[in-house]
Amino acid sequence: MEAWELPVCLNLYLSKLNLVKGLDNLNEHQIIKEYFSDVGSAYLAEHGIRVSVGDDAAVLSPPKGKESVISVDTSIEGVHFLKAMNASDIAYRSVSVALSDLAACGATPSWFTLALSLEDYDPIWLSGFRRGLEDISSELKIPLIGGDTTKGNLSITVQVGGYVEKGKALTRKGAKVGDLIYLTGTIGEASSALESIKKDNLVDLKKSRYLRPKIRFGVSNKLKGIASSAIDVSDGLFQDLNHICTASKVGANVYLEKIPTFLSKSLSSEEMNKGDDYEILFTSDKTNKEKIEGISKQEKIPICEIGLIIKGYEVQIITPEGDFLKASSGFQHF
Ligand code: ADP
Ligand code: MG
C-alpha cells in the first residue's frame, strides 16, 4: 500500500513520528546538543568561562591585567574551502584561519563561537565536522562557547577570542624606516596544495598545509615587545605587507631571492602572492636580530629576514638582478 492510500489521520501520525525520531528531521536543538555541546568543555574553567553552549549567552571573566582580542571570519564553499574536502578538515580550517588573526596580534587564544548555516541535516557530515572542531579545540586547549545554527547555503562563521597583556598587542601600525622585515615558515605550499586539490579532486595528507593550517602562536607570543608591527599572511604576502605599509605610513623593499618558499621552489612574485599561508609577517628594529634568531631556534620555526622598511608608501619587490617589480594584487574578495 502506498502512503497516499492511508487514511489522512494515520499519515499525519506517521509524519509526526518521523519528525521526532527520524534522522532527517532532527530539530535545531537536537543538532546543537549532539554536535556542538561539550567541544573542549574540559578547558572552560582554565579560561574563566562560567556559562557556555546551551544557555542564552556565554559568561566569562577576563584575566587581570589583560586586554581582550576578538576577531571573526566567515568561510564559504568554493572560496575558503572546497566541497571535496572532508567535513573534519572544513571545520578545522574554518577555526584555524580565524585564529590566525589572534596570532597576528600576539594574543593567546581562549575561546571560539560558531555560526553555522547548513543546507540540510546530514549526520555523517556533521559527525566529521564535530571531529574537526574537537581536533583544533584539543590542540589549542580552547572550548567552543556558543554559536547559532540555521538552514541555508553552507556557510561557517567563526568568532575567536583571546587575551594579551595590556598595551602589548601587535598591530599593523608601528613599522619604522630602517626596520627589518621578517617572515615565519615558508610561502606557497598551501596555494599549490589547493591547486592540486582542485585539479585531481583528491584530498590527502600531503595537502595538509591547506587543509589544516598550523597557526604560529608559539612565535607570535614571543614577538611582543620585539616586533614593531605584524600581520598574518592570508590574502597574499605582498598584499599583506602592503597593509603594514599603509597602516604604518612607510614603504618596503623586499628581496625576491630572500623569500623562503616551500621545498625551496622557485616561485614567481605572483605565485608568492596567492595567500592561504597563515605565516606571520612582521617588522622589527635591527637590534633585535639575535633575539629573533633565538625565538626561531626555541620554537623550531624558521624566521627569515626578507626586506627593509623604507620611506614611502608602497611595496617594491627587488629581483636578484636588481630590477624593481610592482607587487601584483593578492587574493581579491570582490
Ligand atoms: P537562542 O535562540 O537563545 O539564540 P539558540 O537556540 O540559537 O538560542 O542556541 C542555543 C544554545 O546553543 C546557545 O547557547 C548557543 O550559543 C548554542 N549554539 C547554537 N548553535 C551553535 C553552534 N553551531 N555551535 C555552538 N553553539 C551553538
Ligand atoms: Mg541563536
Is 146 near ligand 1, meaning CB less than 6 Å away? yes
CATH of the domain at 77: 3.30.1330.10
Which amino acid residue places its CA nearest to atom 13 of ligand 1?
54
Which amino acid residue places its CA nearest to atom 27 of ligand 1?
147
In DSSP notation, 134-200 reads HHHHHHHT--EEEEEEEESS-EEEEEEEEEEETT----SS---TT-EEEEES-BSHHHHHHHHHHHH
Angle between helices 123-140 and 87-104 (to 10 degrees): 30
Q: Residues whose CB is under 5 A from ligand 2 (ion)?
A: 148
Grid coordinates belonging to 10: 494515520
Query: Does residue 126 share a domain with residue 185?
Result: no
3 found inside a domain: no
Query: Does residue 159 share a domain with residue 25?
Result: yes
Query: Does residue 206 share a domain with residue 159?
Result: no
Query: Does residue 160 share a domain with residue 22?
Result: yes
Grid coordinates belonging to 153: 547555503
pLDDT at 4: 41
Is 112 near ligand 1, meaning CB less than 6 Å away? no
81 found inside a domain: yes
| Low-confidence spans in the chain with pLDDT less than 70 | 1-26, 201-203, 205-206, 328-330, 333
CA 116 to ligand 1 centroid distance, Å: 10
Which of the ligands is closest to the CA of residue 115? 1
6 found inside a domain: no
Which amino acid residue places its CA nearest to atom 16 of ligand 1?
146
pLDDT at 208: 86
Which of 142, 165, 188 finishes a domain? 165
Query: Does residue 271 share a domain with residue 153?
Result: no
Identify the CA nearest to 54 among candidates 146, 160, 134. Answer: 146
The number of folded domains in the chain is: 2
Grid coordinates belonging to 190: 598551501
CA 126 to ligand 1 centroid distance, Å: 16
Query: Does residue 184 share a domain with residue 111?
Result: no
Q: What's the length of the chain? A: 334
26 found inside a domain: yes
CA 91 to ligand 1 centroid distance, Å: 17
Query: Does residue 184 share a domain with residue 91?
Result: no
Query: Does residue 258 share a domain with residue 214?
Result: yes
Helix/strand/coil for 20: helix
pLDDT at 206: 65
51 found inside a domain: yes
4 found inside a domain: no
Q: In whole angstroms, what is the distance from residue 84 CA to residue 210 CA?
A: 13
Which of 106, 131, 165 finishes a domain? 165
CA 105 to ligand 1 centroid distance, Å: 28
In DSSP notation, 191-244 reads HHHHHHHHHH----GGGHHHHSPPP-HHHHHHTTTTEEEEEE-SS-HHHHHHHH
Helix/strand/coil for 115: strand
Query: Does residue 252 share a domain with residue 109?
Result: no
197-240 pLDDT, tens digit per residue, is 887 766 676 678 889 999 999 999 999 999 999 999 999 999 99
CATH of the domain at 253: 3.90.650.10
Q: In whole angstroms, what is the distance from residue 134 CA to residue 126 CA?
A: 12
The upper half-sphere exposure of residue 117, i.e. CA atoms within 13 Å in the direction of its Cβ, equals: 10
Identify the CA nearest to 138 among candidates 104, 112, 103, 164. Answer: 112
Query: Does residue 123 share a domain with residue 24?
Result: yes
99 found inside a domain: yes
Query: Does residue 74 share a domain with residue 146?
Result: yes
Find cell 623550531 and name the residue: 300
CA 41 to ligand 2 centroid distance, Å: 19
| Pocket-testing residue among 29, 32, 94, ligand 1, by greatest number of atoms within 8 A of Cβ | 32
pLDDT at 103: 98
pLDDT at 328: 67
pTM of the complete model beyond 0.95: no
104 found inside a domain: yes
Is 129 near ligand 1, meaning CB less than 6 Å away? no
Query: Does residue 33 share a domain with residue 147?
Result: yes
Which amino acid residue places its CA nearest to atom 5 of ligand 1?
148
Q: What domain range is 65 assigned to? A: 12-165
Which amino acid residue places its CA nearest to atom 8 of ligand 1?
56
Q: Is the separation of the CB atoms in 281 and 239 below 8 Å? A: no
Q: In whole angstroms, what is the distance from residue 201 CA to residue 204 CA?
A: 10
Which of 111, 137, 165 finishes a domain? 165
Q: In whole angstroms, what is the distance from residue 241 CA to residue 230 CA?
A: 9
Alpha carbon dihedral 163, 179, 255, 221, in 10-degree steps, equals -20
Atom in ligand 1 nearest the alpha carbon of residue 149: 20
Which amino acid residue places its CA nearest to atom 20 of ligand 1?
148
